[in-house]
Amino acid sequence: MIVPMKHLTLLCVAADQSAAMERLRALGTVHLALRPSDSEAFRAESARYRALQQASALLAEIHGESPPLPAAKGEPPAIDPARFETPLPDLGSLGFDDQLQAVLKLGEELRFCREARAYLADERQRYEPFGSFDPALAAKLKAEGLPVTLFTFPLTEAPKPAEEGNAGILHILTADAKRAYGVAVGAIPLPSAATVIPLPERPLTESAWLIEAAERREQAIIAALEGQTAFKTALAQATERQQDRVAFAQALDTMEAQGAVAWITGWIPEPQTQALREAARAAAWGILLRDPEGDEQPPTLMRPPKLFRPVLTLFEALGISPAYSEADVSIPFYLFFSIFFAMLVGDGGYGAIILALVIWARMKMRKAPASPFILLSVFAIATIIWGFLSNTWFGVSPKCLDNPVARWLADPSYKNMMLLCFTLGVTHLVIARLWNAVMLFPDSKFLAQVGWAGIVAFMYCMTCGVVGIFPCPTFMYWVMGVSLVLVFGFSLKRSELREHGVELGMMPLTIAGTLGDIISYVRLFAVGLASVKVAQNFNDMAINLGLPVWAKIIPLVLILLIGHGLNFAMAALSILVHAVRLNTLEFSNHKGISWSGYAYRPFRKRAKAD
């Protein structure tokens, strides 16, 4: 269910704003109606939070918990050789704040070293064809009236080994498969289509030395940061506490005041209002609680039965939430997503791997919330069950696990598999329509939803008839006729026709779209079959290598690992695309879920107490 909300207006003494917000945060039940803040206090807290986040990201990268950031490409860095020789600070001897600043400075040094190495490597590659020389000598020649010009041109220009003239000399230094590289001293014409290359800043020997110095410096910084495990833990705790300070500063800025009175508004779940009243009496607050008005959009707090509560983790990961006025669809979402997950992965062996990884991760992260592990375990077990039903294990169908369901699903015409997909689709969509009907009863509009359920059932029969699974029964045409009468007759009341009558004109397109919604579920068959076929092809490729047994072991293992690893990754991608779509689009359109809500986020401390 979606928990009912009450709009709250809280009043307190203006001089007591900070203490009031502390008490409200300790209560931890009010979702504040925050507004953007730009006060000096907020900016200061936000700046420190960003610094802590930056240091945390740096240490996470150093400890291999996130990929290294690529070197920035922009203005070339000002390379000072002395910068690579500066002694590193003794981080262990510093207090927390000084250590934070030192780590941030080392992060800047690390980025500088990477940018310098990238720039110097590019410089060396660009000038290697011209050989090593001192740019200072070229500057001397230019001062004497003999400018030195480096150039390159395509070999189609027929490079000449040397040219001399009254005004200077032109010499071809090297050539590769496509281009020639040369130098001109003095004012002498260059070959046509030649591209002038600016003189380098330093000799190639100096570039090579600087690259080595930057690399040594980078490794020294990494070694210094790798030892900061205790600071890394303290940094994570400080980041959480600082996030609370930022939220508190924004909440304090949101509070309005006039004269001796200050106030703030927000939302509170109805079951928590009694605790708020008791806190208000103890703190001498004034509170005003009322129901949401028509144009207000309260936050959404879903409280499904405990068994289905892990699906809220999936909603949070996807960043979706139904609007407050909509229904809590977490139960059908959880059930059908698990089925879709299993069918899209399509292989019990992959499900076993997922379950093993979840168990291993849970053992490593015992203090982490349980919901994500429960959710993934359910998906993995569903995939294993599907593997038993379809007898598919890493693309192989063992005879010892053969069963009637697997033989039925393995119909060479694939009609049975498509029938299963379409049946899941019609069940999914009819649930949505009948749910709407129950919620609308006894309003006459519930009859329109019953009619939509009939239309969905008719389109299911039509789809099965089109692909040759079974002919559409004659009585379904009568069902379709009655359903159309119900939809057109009861979707709108007579008083709504003037304002919403155009919706009836669009109804034929919506009805036709229902056929597409049913057909859309065939993706479960198509994607799952593709996954199985890919696995089978890699198995065949590995087994049928034309090599002696002793020589094929390593390539066989590599082919299986790469092939099944790629297939596993594609299955994960298909879940994000197809399983999510069938729930958030096809089902949600029929249920009337827009996913336009925002989650309930109470104002409370997020950091754990020390």
C-alpha Rg value of the chain to the nearest Å: 35
Listed range (2-11, 159-168, 316-325, 381-390) with the worst mean pLDDT: 159-168
460-515: per-residue pLDDT in tens? 999 999 989 999 999 999 999 999 999 888 877 777 767 766 767 778 888 888 99
CB-CB contact of 55 with 228 (8 Å)? no
Phi, psi of 141, rounded to the nearest 5 degrees = -60, -40
Residue 548 phi, psi (nearest 5): -60, 155
Q: Are residues 135 and 203 in contact, defined by beta-carbon separation less than 8 angstroms?
A: yes
CA–CA distance, 568 with 383 (Å, rounded to integer): 13
Provide the pLDDT confidence category of residue 157 given band limits of 50, 70 and 90: low
pLDDT tens by residue, 330-360: 999 999 999 999 999 989 999 999 999 999 9
Rounded distance between C-alpha atoms, residue 100 and residue 94, angstroms: 9
pLDDT > 60? residue 163:
no
Q: Do 595 and 584 touch, CB atoms closer than 8 A? A: yes
Burial 532-570 (b: 16+ CB within 10 A, else e): bebbeebbeebeeeeeeeeebeeebeebbeebbeebbeb
Other CB atoms within a 10 A radius of the CB of residue 269 amount to: 20
Nearest to 253 by CA among 48, 39, 21, 13: 39
Residue-wise pLDDT tens digits, 397-449: 899 889 999 999 988 888 999 999 999 999 999 999 999 999 999 999 899 99
Tell me the pLDDT tens digit for each residue of 282-296: 999 999 999 999 889
Cα of first residue to Cα of last residue in the chain, in angstroms, is: 35
Structure tokens, 156: 């189609």
CA dihedral 149, 154, 155, 158 (to 10 degrees): -70
pLDDT digits (tens, 9 = 90+) for 186-241: 877 787 788 898 988 888 888 889 999 999 999 999 999 988 888 888 998 999 99
Dist. CA 608–CA 64, nearest whole Å: 25
Within 10 Å of residue 294's Cβ, how many Cβ atoms?
5
Q: Do the strands 31-32 and 261-269 form a parallel or antiparallel pair, or are they unpaired? A: antiparallel
Q: Which residues pair with 148 in a beta bridge?
A: 185
Our CA dihedral for 436, 441, 446, 447, rounded to 10 degrees, sits at 140
Query: What is the overall mean pLDDT for the chain?
Result: 89
Please state the φ and ψ torsions of residue 114, each to the nearest 5 degrees. Answer: -70, -40
Residue 22: is its pLDDT beyond 80?
Answer: yes
> Residues 82-122: pLDDT tens digits?
888 888 888 888 889 999 999 999 998 888 888 888 889 98
Q: Find the helix packing angle between 523-543 and 549-574, rounded to 10°.
A: 170
The answer to whether the CB of 593 falls within 8 A of the CB of 327 is yes
The Cα 513–Cα 497 span in angstroms is: 23
Q: Six-digit token pair at 425?
A: 């689709």
Q: Are 186 and 159 in contact (CB under 8 A)?
A: no
Structure tokens at 436: 């709407």
CA nearest to 508, candidates 479, 487, 532, 535: 487
CA 170-171-175 angle, to 5 degrees, is 135
The CA dihedral of 22, 27, 33, 36, to the nearest 10 degrees, is: 30
How high is the pLDDT of residue 139?
A: 87
Distances (CA, A) of 15 to 257, 261, 363, 402: 10, 8, 50, 76
Q: Whole-angstrom Cα distance, residue 325 to residue 75?
A: 53
pLDDT score at 177: 83
Other beta carbons within 10 angstroms of residue 470's beta carbon come to 11
Structure tokens at 459: 């389109």
Is residue 374's pLDDT more than 80?
yes
Q: What pLDDT does residue 324 have?
A: 93
- E-only strand ranges, 279-395: 286-290
Q: Which of 205, 197, 201, 198 is nearest to 180 (CA)?
A: 197
Name 604's Cβ contacts closer than 8 Å, sequence gap at least 6. 25, 26, 27, 28, 29
Predicted pLDDT at 162: 47
What is the pTM for the complete model shown?
A: 0.81
250: pLDDT strictly greater than 70: yes
Contact 55, 107 (CB under 8 A): yes
Query: Rounded to an integer, what distance in angstroms lies between the CA atom of residue 74 and that of residue 399?
Result: 61
**For residue 190, what are the CA distances in angstroms to 128, 135, 422, 551?**
20, 20, 72, 58
CA 167 – CA 186 distance, rounded (Å): 6
Exposure string for 110-124, b = 16+ CB within 10 A, e = fewer: bbbbbbbbbbbeebb
CB 324 within 8 A of CB 386: no
**Overall residue count recorded for the chain in this entry:** 610
In the three-class reduction of DSSP (H, G, I as helix; E, B as strand; rest coil), residue 370 is classed as: coil
Lookup: tokens for 286 = 């004034």
